[in-house]
Chain A
Amino acid sequence: GDSVTQMEGPVTLSEEAFLTINCTYTATGYPSLFWYVQYPGEGLQLLLKATKADDKGSNKGFEATYRKETTSFHLEKGSVQVSDSAVYFCALSGGSGNTPLVFGKGTRLSVIA
């Protein structure tokens, strides 16, 4: 079945550091790819998405590019802030014609001032 693998956390960075969280997927067909974020005490929110190969999703300074050749959707941000501290989930949908999301295990990011 479809699956998502993302880098294990926790990740601890200093403010203004560069962030990369790796995500790779296994799916049949042509899934849509998502990054969701869960801030402390809050529910899951969509951060960005890409629905076809070579699309780049971006939001709040975060970016991720849908790479079909490497089956990857790595999340990047050039300069993190303390307020970016959260758990980040990579997910896919539609890989086998199925709509429900398949999530990775999540990566906890802590940004220190």
Chain B
Amino acid sequence: DTAVSQTPKYLVTQMGNDKSIKCEQNLGHDTMYWYKQDSKKFLKIMFSYNNKELIINETVPNRFSPKSPDKAHLNLHINSLELGDSAVYFCASSQGRRESYGYTFGSGTRLTVV
């Protein structure tokens, strides 16, 4: 009974393509996030949504566009993929807007751009 599920788990694609990653949580949490973990294992926040409202929008290329159709889903669409986009993308959720109780992460999407 997966709490935060992401699909796909692996994604290999060519430069210039457009791809989407989907995330769903069944925890009833209000807030969802996208994090990027690069090859050096640094974890950086990209976006955060609270009840479908964008609340954190870090400095990422506008080729990245999040969409939250409802509070249980947060998708990430990436246009014109570049080699530097290769990383692991983690979706996460938390109860409340201020992460006072910590995050629950999905298992990650390993994106490789060739």
- A interacts with B: no
Q: Which residues of B contact A (CB under 8 A)?
A: none
Q: Which residues of A contact B (CB under 8 A)?
A: none
